Chains A and B, each alone.
Chain A
Amino acid sequence: MFHYIARRMVQMLPVLIGITLVAFILMNLVPGTAISMMMDPRAAPLPADVEARLLEHYGFTDPLPIRYLKFLGNALRGDLGFSFRFNQLVSIIVLERLPPTMLLAFTSGTLAVLLGVFLGILAALHRGRILDSFSMVFGLAGASMPVFWFGILLMFLFSVRLGWLPASGWGSGSVSHLILPTLALGYGFAAIIARVTRSSMLEVLSMDYIVTARSKGLSERMVVYKHALKNALIPVITVIGGQVGRLLSGAVLTETVFSWPGLGRLLVDSIQHRDLPTVQGSLIFVAFVFVLVNLVTDLTYAFLDPRVRFE
């Protein structure tokens, strides 16, 4: 088991290098220099010597391969570089965005899992009846509603109309600020989980061993929660694993609508500002989380299915 984890961790290294290399190449292929992004568009173009000095100051004069190798060497020593946009260490910038990002990912992820699994089971147990239809319509709506639109609806209802909740900002993590973004982000995710849980549950419920369990006189509760659910959860875990990484890095739309100071917004803004060091730094972090979540997902399989063994 520990061997397995260690091996997966080592495998992570080429993934991280690959990601930063691709990002580095792409960012340098995109026309547009960092300097043009630093200036106010209205200001007269910079005198050539000032611009040359800026380029040198921020290390843009080295040839590309050298720049990448420098970045890699520094990153291995824990230095993610210096952002010319913020005039600050990238590690500080990324760390500042972590608490809001993790918090929102956690609450919306938890909401989605609890709600999604619950509705999925409900639908499967009442297959073809009204509760099933209700759950699935709920799921369909969640999967098809764009998150920014749903977010704005929530905002106008709960903030503007009713005045119950703040419309935006993260309020240093206060519950009132959390509710709307959690609902907006968690709903779509819950819908996906509900659909997977339902179909997986239905499949498992028609298995022979469930019939056996029932015929030996176990209570329905025991059959469903002890025997069916555990096996039905494996595909659900796969879906959750795939989505959690996205919650941490890709909640850009939710973060934009609710002015949530998270990592997704930082990443997108930095791309727009050609702030390569910050893009690289955020990407390394995001990639790290993705790989880690995948690992945890795989380990969870073993917990749910004793037949799974890690070599």
Chain B
Amino acid sequence: MYTYKRGCLLIMLVFGLILLTGCGGPDLDFEQDPNDVGGGVFVRDSAYGDPENLDPIVRGRMGAMGVTTNLFDGLVGHEPETAEIRPAIATSWDIHDDGTRYVFHLRDDAIFHNGRPITADDFVYSFHRLADPANASPLSHYLTGVVGKREFEVGDAETMEGIRALDDHTLQIQLEAPDSTFLSNLAFPAAGVVPEEAVEALGDDFGHRPIGSGPFVFDEWVKDDYVNLQAFDDYYQGRPEIDGVKFRVIQEATTKEAEFLSGNLDAFIAPASIYRKYRDDPDHQMIEVAEFFTRHIGFHCQKEPFDDPRVRQAFNHAIDTETIIDVVLGGKGVPAIGYLPSSSFAFDPDLKGYPYDPERAETLLAESGYEDGIEVPIMTSEHPEWGLPIVEAIMPYLNAVGITLKPETMDTGVLYDRLRSGDYVSYIYSTGGDAHPVNYLWRFHSELADTTNRYSDPAVDDLLERAKGATDDDEMIALVQEAEATIARDAPIWFFHYNKAVTMHADRVDGLQAVPIDMFLQDLTKLSIDVGPR
């Protein structure tokens, strides 16, 4: 009995030791996998965590889009640094009938990753898949305005009448009304082309083993760890220069920093804490851009005291925004003048903002009848760049003119829901729209007032609608700028800053872009890597 038990203990011990030292693999001498370094593989952070699903129509978040934008190509794309439209699988397009009929001419050398050539019918299938209510895509509104979409959605029609393949390489899309934002919507991966046979064969698994036609082919995905893509040899614009890309899921900024410093990460998107530390260090390369994120404090424009525009203007004049950006964000922010970021092609450099002027703020408050001061509840998250630290920093400025903030801390999901239900007086948040300036400003259209700031101005509605219907870009931009000037004057928000997105990258990487839509949406075909030893 005694020896038996002792034997058991001994076996347990030996077993434990073996597992402790032997688990998982022979690479005791820690040679890095050639996939990790060198060989032209670009290793970067997966900026928003695990992409969760790589079917382009399933997720509306940037975390997935940063990856899918390399896997899926559509008719058109966004020029990364300007957000302007560029050809992709459609080499050209004609617009007829006052902007309601688009005819796209498709290239004949584009193929899917499974080797099959792409035809106009594939786009017909892919667009129907995006709009199909059975797929419940949060991005199906990209096709709003296409003739027959409504009927298709509610089940009155088998197909969308407005989408038709004229021949193998010609696709026609008819809109109910001219829409200057339409091409921009088509440039996102959700409107990319997918191979029907693969989608049908894989089912829900398509989102975990995607097959597209973009410059990179899906290779491997270990959830919460990394996603590997490989260069597509038969890409119609030529094989990308780099061999592949590895998106590593790293949550902690400190861990990203450690991996970067030890040479295991070529690039990552730096938060304010890291930016502050390295911005003056000439040994570290950084790319910056005013990203399409407008950080702001939003006012409920139908509730006291913010139903009076003078109070909202006073709020804007009361704060020294540049000092806040310098001190609290370590300079990682571009002071906001209006809502539309300065990197947008429709930005108006002549727009007047709200300079720091506490006296003007006091006068405005007195004019609005609040000379005795006001108390304002504000919903805030704990986000370091658009949350509690900012609220705390601006409180003394506001106190000085008679506005007392009462912060209420919550997580962003709760904040978002209360914002939509109208159960608030003010909130601090970071929002945007997308690449197109009309879409970007649309949250100030009365149509969305009930889920945003309850701001409503018929003049703004009219300007935005005309900009959306404009068939000429210059006309559209002029209308957008007029709408933006009105919004800036009415100040439904405190214009705080446009996020300064920062990519920190290693010397060996060349060709990364300052992408305003989202720094994570890099066009990786423009990249080259010096594959010498790091």
Contacts and interface: CB of A to CB of B under 8 A. Distances in A.
Interface of A: 30-33, 35-47, 49-50, 53-54, 56-58, 85-89, 93, 96-97, 100, 103, 106-107, 110-111, 113-114, 152, 155-156, 159-160, 163-176, 178, 256-259, 261-262, 265-266, 269, 272, 274, 303
A174 B250 contact: no
Interface of B: 5, 8, 13, 16-17, 19-25, 27-28, 30, 32-33, 49-50, 52-53, 55, 58-62, 65, 133, 136, 138, 140-141, 144, 153, 204, 207-208, 222-226, 248-252, 254-255, 258-259, 261-264, 292-293, 410-414, 416-418, 420, 429-434, 439, 442-443, 448, 451-452
Contact of A50 (B21, B140, B420, B451): B140
Given A33-B417, A106-B23, A47 B141 contact: yes
Nearest to B13: A114
Given A107-B20, A257-B252, A42 B292 contact: yes
B201 to A, nearest CB: 17
A160 B33 CA distance: 18
Contact of B62 (A40, A85, A160): A40
B53 A107 contact: no
Contacts of A178: 23-24
B222 A261 contact: yes
A251 B286 CA distance: 34
B53 A87 contact: yes
B52 A32 contact: no
Nearest to A46: B138
Given A97-B224, A257-B255, A41 B430 contact: yes
Contact of B25 (A37, A41, A174): A174
B226 A111 contact: no
B259 A167 contact: yes
A272 B262 CA distance: 31
26 contacts: A31-B418, A32-B414, A36-B417, A42-B430, A43-B434, A45-B452, A50-B140, A53-B136, A54-B136, A87-B53, A87-B59, A88-B207, A96-B223, A97-B223, A106-B19, A110-B16, A114-B13, A155-B258, A159-B262, A165-B30, A167-B255, A167-B258, A170-B222, A175-B25, A178-B23, A274-B413
Contacts of B420: 36, 45
A42 B255 contact: no
A97 B225 CA distance: 10
A36 B24 contact: no
A63 to B, nearest CB: 20
B60 A38 contact: yes
B53 A164 contact: no
B385 to A, nearest CB: 13
Contact of A58 (B28, B136, B224): B136
